[in-house]
Amino acid sequence: MGIKTSLGGKISVLVSLALLCVIGVMARLVFTYIEDSRIHEMTIRAEFFARSAREALIPKPDRFALIYQVQQVKKEEKAAVYAEIEDARGMILSSTDPSSIGEADQTEAGRRALSAQDVLTQTLGGGRKIDIAVPIFAGKNKIAIARVGFTRKSIAEAMAGAKTRIFLIALASLLFGVLGTILIVRKMTRALLVLAKAAEEVRLGNLNVSVASNSRDEIGALARSFNAMVLGLKEREFIRSTFGKYVSPQVAEAALKGKLKLGGENIQVTVLMTDIRNFTATSEKMPPEKVVEFLNAFLTRMVRVISAHGGVVDKFIGDAILAVFGAPNPLADHPQKAVEAALAMRAELAKMNAESAARGGGALKTGTSIHTGEAVAGNVGSPDRMSYTVIGDTVNLVARLEELNKKFGTDIILSSETVRRVSPRGFGFRSLGTIDIRGRKDPAEIYTIA
């Protein structure tokens, strides 16, 4: 069972996070300012070191004076890790590392410092050290450079106090923010709890509830909307209980408009049936959950095509779909729409098979049949539970025609009654002859589409 968090707690957390973000940005700005100030202080110290070194270089280098200046930098600036003076060729004249005196500085940082004509600040060692190089001139001639290296430690020490103060400010801001938010939200939650209790009553079926809506704020607007919703639910209860029995939006719409007759009506419709070939054998190789997932994916895409062409799904029979065109809403060209839907379903199945092949899966095959004729469309069931459906010889025949796809190796079979009512242009109907239909006295002429 999950941990329950109150609305006040959630809002307090959001306010706290917002405060932390603001304080974090401010802290970052302060830290950046302190770091820049510290680097500026280092630069001034390096420039002073360069001026002192210049006095030891002119008129000629004073080795002892140079050593003294280097040692003074190390002594006065605890954060300095090295200090050195190099001549214009890069030879080290004096350094805090005595072993390097007289050697040439071959480092990349040294070459950049030697070529600089102004103060150069470099970060070394992955940003852990800062190298400041100051050129030393005699007139217009560059005679040497003074370099001082510092660590980030001095910056961290300078920022330690600021971090502590910022932490205390952040903690105080959070406490005031949370307390203030809780006080404000407490008033809101009282009204919301009343609304929640009333909503629970509605959930249990009690529509004789209302809540006070005296305030002029958003809570008051919510209470007024809730009361209006309850009134609407009372008015719609009859509609909900009546049309909750229907599964098709088209059927519900027709019933609302009073176009359905109780017990059924005899109308001219076109019925379409489609079925997956060898589905039983295929499903036996799959886990039950995969079978349901596979079937739902197929049915979803086929139903979408049927609906797009004005058809209504009457029912699902395992992996088969029974759809009707022309009921409950009249459809003038229902034979044409049914044939177009069958072709669109064929194209959609081809897309599904292409996608399956890309995933390394197999291909589906379907059989579809279409027949136009009279059928009884209406409510079937009991007063407590009823279903809108179509029944009659037309439905029986379309089921028999669908079975013939296996015999003729086709995927679409149409009756002559449908073909006669459809414009042949662009369809390419091909006669399969006249055959006897199981359960029917008269033979039927059937067609397919190339």
Report yes or no on 250 lying in a domain: no
In the chain, the percentage of residues whose pLDDT exceeds 90 is 22
Look at the chain and count its residues: 450
Of the three residues 107, 122, 157, the one that is the final residue of a domain is: 157
Predicted local confidence at residue 225, as pLDDT: 84
pLDDT at 239 over 70: no
Report yes or no on 254 lying in a domain: no
Report yes or no on 17 lying in a domain: yes
Half-sphere exposure of 194 (CA within 13 A, CB side): 17
User: Mean pLDDT over residues 301-317, rounded?
Assistant: 91
CA proximity to 346, closest of 305, 309, 293, 399: 305
Q: What is the CATH number of the domain that holds 66?
A: 3.30.450.20
pLDDT at 44 over 80: yes
Of the three residues 138, 157, 176, the one that is the final residue of a domain is: 157
| Full-model pTM | 0.48
Higher per-residue pLDDT: 368 or 132: 368
How far is Cα 406 from Cα 396, in angstroms, rounded to an integer? 18
- 153 shares its domain with 271: no
Burial (Cβ within 10 Å: 0-12, 13-18, ≥19) of residue 415: buried
Residue 236 token pair = 């719609």
For every residue of 94-123, DSSP letters joined together read EESSGGGTTSB--SHHHHHHHH-SS-EEEE
Q: How many domains does the chain have?
A: 2
Predicted local confidence at residue 318, as pLDDT: 84
Strand pairing of 312-317 and 141-151? unpaired
Of the three residues 97, 130, 157, the one that is the final residue of a domain is: 157
Report yes or no on 396 lying in a domain: yes
Least-confidence region, from 51-65, 249-263, 420-434: 249-263
User: Mean pLDDT over residues 97-122, rounded?
Assistant: 87
Predicted local confidence at residue 7, as pLDDT: 63
Predicted local confidence at residue 206, as pLDDT: 82
User: Mean pLDDT over residues 438-450, rounded?
Assistant: 87
Report yes or no on 347 lying in a domain: yes
Range of the domain at 36: 7-157
∠ CA 244-250-252, rounded to 5°? 30
- 419 shares its domain with 286: yes
Place of tokens 């095959």: 365
Residue 183 is inside which H or E element, if any?
A: helix 153-203
Report yes or no on 245 lying in a domain: no
pLDDT at 284 over 70: yes
Half-sphere exposure of 71 (CA within 13 A, CB side): 7
Predicted local confidence at residue 244, as pLDDT: 46
Higher per-residue pLDDT: 319 or 220: 319
